[in-house]
Structure 1
Amino acid sequence: MSDASKPAPGAGIGTLLMGGDYMHRMSALLTLVLLVLGFALASQSFFSVNNGLTILLQTSVIGLLGIGLTLVILTGGIDLSVGSVLALSGVISAMAVKAGVPVVPAMTLGVVAGAACGAFNGFVITKMRIPPFVATLGMMLIARGVALQLTGAAPISRLGEGFGVLGNGALFRMVEMQPNGFPKVIFPGIPYPAILLLITAVGVAYLLRRRQIGRHIYATGSNEEAARLSGVRVDRTKLYAYTMSGALAGLAGNVLMSRLVTAQPSEGVMYELDAIAAAVIGGASLSGGIGTISGTMIGAFIIGILRNGLNMAGVSAFIQQIVIGFVVIGAVWIDQVRNRQ
């Protein structure tokens, strides 16, 4: 039987597991609604337009990283390097702009650098047979070290207005000049990072549901040996997942550095934990084979709204870390209970 005539490996598995994930996503969605209602009652400004835009901008970076982590987690792996890769990619984009490269090619170079880091992770995991935790921990240190070495641990500033368009621009923004000469925002528009997150989420969700590589990712995470015997190229599938995770980390780095209009080599610390939390809260199983992009988006907004609401309530960043830590532990515990059942 030719490869073309074989049934797609993992086609039934992916559908079954995504169906089993439905209740988890619904519980996460309910949690999101309760958080919104709770913070709205606690602060009248929570539902303001400016705060809504702030949540969108904060969630866009977590969401992009979370989508990449979801692909890796679905294969049964983990990627601890995305925060450092984010910083390295942003630094490379900024250095290219400083060297005279136009903004779009420079940012593309940053995404390519992120993809290269992800591909290296995939190579070490699949060819050298090093566990994902150790391999990506090593890349976390390598990428951070390279970013700090390239910049001398100093931020790269004066990147020009063009560099800030991606992170600070908005679609359909309406501004009116007042008689006093100052602009007045009539409609703030839809932030470009939010649009980018939506396009990425829809594209990756389509890939997982409708394309062969998506079915192979689910099959690899569900039962790697069975997938291999079914004709799935497991190593290539893992390499693809890690490369995508690195590329999306590079894209997130461009978004974050563009928002700041400054490349900070120290940015992205602990971002990998927020991304993992978003995926797990949204229903992704750390044992692999279970998870959806829609669930990860719900998880990303839970993390974003939780941080935003706690900030508005005056809760310190240290307490926020404690709260997020308990949320992650709770989500993983629910995942373990679900797996046992």
Structure 2
Amino acid sequence: MSDVSKPVGRLRAPGAMGGFAQLQRLSAILTLLLLVVGFSLASQPFLSINNALTILLQTSVIGLLGIGMTMVIITGGIDLSVGSVLALSGVVSAFAVKAGLPVVPAMTAGVVMGAACGAFNGLVITKLRIPPFVATLGMMLIARGLALQLTGATPISGLGDAFGQLGNGALFRVVEMRDNGFPRVVFPGIPYPAILLLVVAIGAAYLLRRRQIGRHIYATGSNEEAARLSGVRTDQTKLYAYTMSGALAGLAGNVLMSRLVTAQPSEGVMYELDAIAAAVIGGASLSGGVGTIAGTMIGAFIIGILRNGLNMAGVSAFIQQIVIGLVVIGAVWIDQMRNRT
């Protein structure tokens, strides 16, 4: 008989963070502000409304992936498949449109495909006891292979204007007609992907902070054995987290393919690293049990602003990868320092 009376660790309160973690959050905010100030001084157009809306649009995909990744990381796992699932989900949505489905049901099919991939990850991890790194690495290859096989590695075009509305539409856009008959954009409007990101972020934050499943996610990542002995269904909690990560990858795939008005089976390469970086920069611990949606949003905007500002400064894409890699290493180092205190 196993001795369940022996100490198995302490359950950490949802979102509980020590002084070091608070410092990490403040350092992320300070980094964000310094980036804005620095790039504003280096390039005057950086602070323009059009560029700010461009950053919002570019960050929306990273943010959606980062939210799902945060849930997984809080449970103590990792999801390397989100970039490939994004591509597969976008391809499924495009095929559904080509088959004659209206855009909304077609995009719903893409999100369902993403959720199915996430659920498969969760089942492999919880039932077969395969480590998350290996299980999601396998799904990364499976999803990318399916996307390329289904399309013959060629883009799917001719999806219609309605398909591009989600990615290219905007709320409060103001356009006036000139005397010469050509339109002039007075205000480009708030991009729909940015509004979608805000809604999803608020919903995810409410779920993690106010709902039972959120408390279970934190408890599972903080100390899985203690959580299990406390009555938490840890396997179901992990399954939920990975399914949500897959569903949000599917949603991000719809946003990205809608922006392109073309389904590209090769899209999403390395996006999983951006999602992990956003979560870690925002304070999520790779050891599990710690992380917030607000922090992940800060991390996503740090990455988005870095890329945008370096592009405007004429820095090559290769140097950008080096810079973001160094930022990620720094964030993980801070996380390790926190775990040692």
TM-score, normalised with respect to structure 1: 0.96
**Residues 18, 292 of structure 1: 8 Å contact kept:** no
Which residues of 2 match residues 46-57 of structure 1 at below 5 A?
46-57=46-57
Q: CA deviation at 1:53?
A: 1.3
Give the letter for the 1:158 counterpart: G
Which residues of 2 match residues 81-92 of structure 1 at below 5 A?
81-92=81-92
What SS does the aligned partner of 1:186 have?
A: strand
Residue in structure 1 matched with residue 145 of structure 2 by the alignment: 145
Q: CA deviation at 1:12?
A: 6.1
Structure 1: 5+ residue stretches without partners: 1-9
Q: In the aligned structure 2, how far is the partner of 1:11 from the partner of 1:201? A: 25
Give the letter for the 1:137 counterpart: L
Which residues of 2 match residues 53-202 of structure 1 at below 5 A?
53-202=53-202
Residue in structure 2 matched with residue 30 of structure 1 by the alignment: 30
What SS does the aligned partner of 2:16 have?
A: helix
Q: CA deviation at 1:18?
A: 7.7
Q: In the aligned structure 2, how far is the partner of 1:228 from the partner of 1:89? A: 34
Q: CA deviation at 1:187?
A: 1.4
Give the letter for the 1:187 counterpart: F
Q: CA deviation at 1:54?
A: 1.1
Q: CA deviation at 1:73?
A: 0.0
Residue in structure 1 matched with residue 3 of structure 2 by the alignment: none
Q: CA deviation at 1:27?
A: 1.0
Q: In the aligned structure 2, how far is the partner of 1:221 from the partner of 1:15? A: 11
Residue in structure 2 matched with residue 317 of structure 1 by the alignment: 317
Per mean C-alpha deviation after superposition, the further-off stretch among 17-26 and 260-269 is 17-26
Structure 2: 5+ residue stretches without partners: 1-9
Q: CA deviation at 1:40?
A: 0.3
**Residues 116, 246 of structure 1: 8 Å contact kept:** yes
Residue in structure 2 matched with residue 7 of structure 1 by the alignment: none
**Residues 278, 300 of structure 2: 8 Å contact kept:** yes
Q: In the aligned structure 1, how far is the partner of 2:274 from the partner of 2:40? A: 23
CA 1:71 to 1:163, structure 2 compared with 1: closer, same or farther past 3 Å? same
Give the letter for the 2:197 counterpart: L
Give the letter for the 1:252 counterpart: A
Give the letter for the 2:226 counterpart: A
What SS does the aligned partner of 2:176 have?
A: strand
**Residues 18, 290 of structure 1: 8 Å contact kept:** no
Q: CA deviation at 1:16?
A: 2.5
CA 1:17 to 1:283, structure 2 compared with 1: closer, same or farther past 3 Å? same
What SS does the aligned partner of 2:17 have?
A: helix
What SS does the aligned partner of 2:72 have?
A: helix
Q: CA deviation at 1:19?
A: 7.6
Residue in structure 2 matched with residue 294 of structure 1 by the alignment: 294
Residue in structure 1 matched with residue 263 of structure 2 by the alignment: 263
Q: CA deviation at 1:13?
A: 1.3
What SS does the aligned partner of 2:14 have?
A: helix
Give the letter for the 1:129 counterpart: R
Q: CA deviation at 1:15?
A: 4.5
User: Deviation string for 1:227-247 (max 9, x for gaps)?
Assistant: 000000000000000000000
- The total of aligned residue pairs comes to 332
**Residues 217, 238 of structure 1: 8 Å contact kept:** yes
**Residues 21, 283 of structure 1: 8 Å contact kept:** yes
What SS does the aligned partner of 1:263 have?
A: coil
Q: In the aligned structure 1, how far is the partner of 2:18 from the partner of 2:101? A: 44
Give the letter for the 2:247 counterpart: A
Q: In the aligned structure 1, how far is the partner of 2:195 from the partner of 2:216? A: 28
What SS does the aligned partner of 1:301 have?
A: helix
What SS does the aligned partner of 1:13 have?
A: coil
Q: In the aligned structure 2, how far is the partner of 1:177 from the partner of 1:99? A: 37
